[in-house]
Amino acid sequence: MTPVLFDTGVIIAALLKRDPHHQGCSAFIQATDRRQRLVPATVIAEVAGMVEHLPEIEAAFYDSVAGGSFVLVQIENADLVRMAELVRQYRDFPLGGTDASVVAIAERLGVADVATLDHRHFRAIRPAHTPAFNLLP
């Protein structure tokens, strides 16, 4: 199985049972190989911010990442440079830092599969390493 880089929305949907995408996103995560589930540090921070009002869910998320449910991917200096380029390039969109980090890391690691519910942004972006992202689930 090829690696999948996770954006925030799929994780949030899997965490929150009331989310309309919960069942599909939960099933997708379960169906992927945990060694191939890549999550940028920026996505972890964004997920945390979105569930901070639900401390049990937030803590369980941290536990799952620490326990190996995802492979944590750190931001490197070259990623920051690329993120700045992307934010400037898509300034009228606008493209936020978390989405830019997903793109930069995907390019660095050669990953084309992105787990996201944000098709608006990720369909419009033209990554440097592939003609387009393969958006999942």
Task: List pLDDT tens digits, range 67-126.
Answer: 999 999 999 999 999 999 999 999 998 899 999 999 999 999 999 999 999 999 999 999
pTM score, two decimals?
A: 0.95
Contact status, residue 36 vs residue 70, Cβ threshold 8 Å: no
In this structure, whether the domain defined by 4-136 belongs to CATH 3.30.70.260 is answered with no
| Four-residue CA torsion sign, 123, 128, 130, 136 | negative
For residues 64, 137, 30 and 83, what is the CA-based torsion angle, rounded to 10 degrees?
-30
Q: Where are the chain's structural domains?
A: 4-136
118's CB contacts (< 8 A; 6+ apart) are: 7, 8, 9, 99
